[in-house]
Amino acid sequence: MIRFLKRINVYELVRPVGQMVLFSLGSAAFMSAIAISLALALDGTAVGASLMDKYNVSLYTYTMLNLPQVIIDGLTIGFVYAAIALGYTMVYGVLEFINFAHSEIFAVGAFVGVELLIALDGMGILAGASLGMAYAYLILAIILGMMAAGGLAVAVERVAYRPLRGASRLVPLISAIGVSFLLQDVIRLVESLTSGQFNRIMPTFGNFDSRIVFGKIAMGTSKLTLGISVKSIIVIGSAVLMLVGLNYLVNATRVGKAIRAVAQDRPTASLMGINVNRIISLTFLVGGLLGGAAGVLYALKFTRIDPFVGFFPGLKAFTAAVLGGIGNMTGALLGGIVLGMLETFAGSYMGVFTMGAAGSEYKDIFAFSILILVLIFRPQGLMGKHVMQKA
Amino acid sequence: MSLLEVDNIHSYYGQIHALKGISVEVNEGEIVTLIGSNGAGKSTILRTISGMMHPKKGMISFEGKDISKKEPHEIVTAGMVHVPEGRGIFPTLTVKENLEMGAFTVTDSRVIEERMEYGFSLFPRLKERIDQFGGTLSGGEQQMLAIARGLMMDPHLLMLDEPSMGLAPILVELIFDIIKDLNATRGTTILLVEQNALMALSIAHRGYVLQTGEITATDTAANLRNNEEVQKAYLGVS
Ligand SMILES: Nc1ncnc2c1ncn2[C@@H]1O[C@H](COP(=O)(O)OP(=O)(O)O)[C@@H](O)[C@H]1O
Ligand SMILES: [Mg+2]
């Protein structure tokens, strides 16, 4: 046991946590500074006046009151994006190929997890479950979603990508888009055959919807409540655990070194005795496991899913991967957090700052504007060159 | 029975017929060299032997077993290691990690450690660079790393593709001394591909001369050195 503990590389456990804290605090501070400056600047204008008229609160106070919730929501969705983005980035790192079916892998994970919980709910098991059992069922749903998504990702690679490996780069890309549509329709078919409904709702159980309140701060005439929903803690906590685990796998284990070796030079890796196909399958498996877990967590946070549920999170996670530098795992983490934060800030404040002219329905524009801007001005992404890739 | 027997193989790159009926034999304990000008097919022979590509016709056997349809990772575990042209150092793995990759299929960490130490005894420079990324090494150091990494499997047969390429003369000499020494003291059998024919023939027991995918001559190294055709074409003697 001691021997085993000695071989644990503590640095590779601490380093990713440090990065997450740094990226979270950094992007929260950056976005808050922008929101507060805008609020202060707009307070004296018609925007501030109209808010004062309606709610008797200054724009600055309003911004500050909402800030904690916005940051927590931003982090929650940011970690979900990061978990999905890692699936894109790992596959890209190893194969230089964008797995556009990853969004549907995510969706399948969400469906499998939610269907399990709906089934348990239908049997009346969830309603009477103790808190401990509620968590056990949620964990079971996450694990099942992960297994389904991981297995599916491996199968998709085997059937739809591997036979095309020698072909030009566009060919597997088109295959991936085809698989993506196919999987959407398979979900629809299965749902219409079994439940007859495309929209599935995550059952309410456990204490996931309650809020933990840390305290209240007086803010002019209003009170600022500092709190966080249990859901958000679960989403962030699970994502952090998975990301630390993934980082450890890739950076501190023998098989992780093999993944990096295959990413850097596939023919030479095979000369080392590495079974390259197996490493590629493993990469898809790991990406699928993360995507599947992200799917169930997403369903927990947003409650409603449908067969197209993968599309926007998938596209945004892809944007996050590109923003961080595709192929770069730290970049995917940074990109996910930054994008989640940016989008939530935009969604929460844009409506007020523009007097309702551009509400939260425009928040998606930010994600995709970022994609375009990054591709034009910094195609290698924020973190630069692919860490797993050839220098 | 020879350790390695390559029997009349044909290899293609798409439509390009790169090997047109090549037969090569390597006996236990020998240093055998393949010489020939650029594009003759030397690297293709090694790639076909190590399973990176498969021959369309012909047969390759190693220790009496047919390996012509095996994958590279299977051939490595059979005891044959190919150090590729251009060294194939993983640029963002450290020197240590590169060496560990060389022993990927070895699970006993003590054995890995021992072999790494042996590599450091041959190339002390690598030990000084142990935590440096492979991509930051000089060309000579990368070649040392490539050879040390190849030895991490303790192969029966070591195939080296142009280990002298791009190195300063003094380093070329060091590398060739080590190859000779490996063969003499450890009994490692070596198949050496070289454009530097003079150097290769000076340490080899036997050699094959290759031209556009065909073998044009084979003999002992001493005889090849004295062969007029070979001298004209590859040894710069006129
Ligand atoms: N990847 C490849 N694709 C197509 N043709 C190749 C490839 N590699 C080598 N060739 C061709 O095969 C022939 C033999 O090449 P090679 O074995 O690399 O020669 P050598 O190692 O003797 O310089 C050459 O004509 C070369 O152009
Ligand atoms: Mg060559």
Confidence check: pLDDT of A391 > 50: no
> How far is residue A59's CA from residue B82's CA, in Å, rounded to a whole number?
69
Q: Where are the domains of chain B?
A: 1-79+158-163+190-238
Q: State the ipTM, two decimals.
A: 0.94
pLDDT in tens, A28-65: 999 999 999 999 999 888 888 888 888 788 889 889 88
Q: What number is the average pLDDT over the span A1-21?
A: 85
The whole model's pTM is what? Answer: 0.92
Q: What number is the average pLDDT over the span A323-348?
A: 93
pLDDT mean across residues, chain A = 91
Q: Is A305 helix (H, G, I), strand (E, B) or coil?
A: strand
What pLDDT score does B150 carry? Answer: 97
Confidence check: pLDDT of A4 > 80: no
Q: What number is the average pLDDT over the span A347-359?
A: 85
Q: In what order do the strands lie in the sheet with B189-194?
A: B80-83, B157-161, B189-194, B31-35, B206-211, B214-220
> How far is residue A226's CA from residue A218's CA, in Å, rounded to a whole number?
11
> How far is residue A279's CA from residue A261's CA, in Å, rounded to a whole number?
10
Kindly determine whether residue A271 and residue B84, on different chains, have CB atoms separated by under 8 Å. Answer: yes
Q: Which two tokens stand for residue B85?
A: 């042209």
Confidence of residue A364 (pLDDT cuts 50, 70, 90): confident
Per-residue pLDDT of chain B (238 residues; tens, 9 = 90+): 799 999 999 999 999 999 999 999 999 999 999 999 999 999 999 999 999 999 999 999 999 999 999 999 999 999 999 999 999 999 999 999 999 999 999 999 999 999 999 999 999 999 999 999 999 999 999 999 999 999 999 999 999 999 999 899 999 999 999 999 999 999 999 999 998 898 999 999 999 999 999 999 999 999 999 988 888 877 666 5
Kindly determine whether residue B101 and residue A391, on different chains, have CB atoms separated by under 8 Å. Answer: no
> How far is residue B39's CA from residue A127's CA, in Å, rounded to a whole number?
74
Percentage of chain A beyond pLDDT 90 is: 71
Q: Whose C-alpha lies nearest to ligand 1, atom 17? A: B41
Homologous superfamily of domain range B1-79+158-163+190-238: P-loop containing nucleotide triphosphate hydrolases (3.40.50.300)
- Classify residue A44 as exposed, middle or buried by CB count within 10 Å of its CB (0-12, 13-18, 19+): exposed
Of B12, B39, B50, which is closest to residue A268 (Cα–Cα)?
B50
The DSSP code sequence of A192-236 is: HHHTS-S-EEPPP-TTTT-EEEEEEEEETTEEEEEEEEHHHHHHH
Any idea which of A33-37, A184-188, A341-345, A363-367 has the lowest mean pLDDT? A363-367
**For testing contact with chain A, the best of B73, B83, B132, B145 (most A CBs within 10 A):** B73
Confidence check: pLDDT of A145 > 50: yes
Q: Classify strands A200-201 and A304-305 as parallel, antiparallel or unpaired.
A: antiparallel
**For testing contact with chain A, the best of B52, B90, B106, B153 (most A CBs within 10 A):** B90
Cα angle: B164, vertex B170, B174; to 5 degrees: 65
Q: Which two tokens stand for residue B207?
A: 């050699």
The DSSP code sequence of A127-153 is: TT--HHHHHHHHHHHHHHHHHHHHHHH
Q: What are phi and psi of B13, to 5 degrees?
A: -110, 100
What pLDDT score does B238 carry? Answer: 52
pLDDT in tens, A255-277: 999 999 999 999 999 999 999 99
With helix as H, strand as E and coil as C, how does chain B read? CCCEEEEEEEEEECCEEEEEEEEEEECCCCEEEEECCCCCCHHHHHHHHCCCCCCCEEEEEECCEECCCCCHHHHHHCCEEEECCCCCCCCCCEHHHHHHHHCCCCCCHHHHHHHHHHHHHHCHHHHHCCCCEHHHCCHHHHHHHHHHHHHCCCCCEEEEECCCCCCCHHHHHHHHHHHHHHHHHHCCEEEEEECCHHHHHHHCCEEEEEECCEEEEEEEHHHHHHCHHHHHHHCCCC
Contact residues, B window 158-187, toward A, CB-based 8 Å cutoff: none
Confidence check: pLDDT of A285 > 70: yes
Contact residues, A window 269-288, toward B, CB-based 8 Å cutoff: 269-276
Q: What number is the average pLDDT over the span A76-93?
A: 95
Q: Which domains does chain A have, with CATH numbers?
A: 6-377 (1.10.3470)
The DSSP code sequence of A4-61 is: HHHTS-HHHHHHHHHHHHHHHHHHHHHHHHHHHHHHHHHHTSHHHHHHHHHHS--HHH
DSSP code, position A96: S
Q: Taking the mean position of all CA atoms in its chain, how far away is CA A219?
A: 33
Tell whether A264 lies on the interface with B, counting CB pairs under 8 A.
yes
Confidence check: pLDDT of A242 > 80: yes
* CB-nearest partner of A264 from B81, B83, B91: B91
Please count the other Cβ atoms lying within 10 Å of the Cβ belonging to residue A123: 9
Give the nearest chain A residue to B79 (CA atoms): A273
Q: What number is the average pLDDT over the span A150-155?
A: 98
| Chain A residues with beta carbon closer than 8 angstroms to that of B85 | none
What pLDDT score does A223 carry? Answer: 72
Contact residues, A window 58-117, toward B, CB-based 8 Å cutoff: none
pLDDT in tens, B71-107: 999 999 999 999 999 999 999 999 999 999 999 999 9
Question: CA of B221 to nearest chain A CA: how many angstroms apart?
Answer: 29
Query: Candidates B44, B85, B193, B215: which one to mutate for ligand 1, based on the most atoms within 8 Å of Cβ?
Result: B44
What pLDDT score does A225 carry? Answer: 75
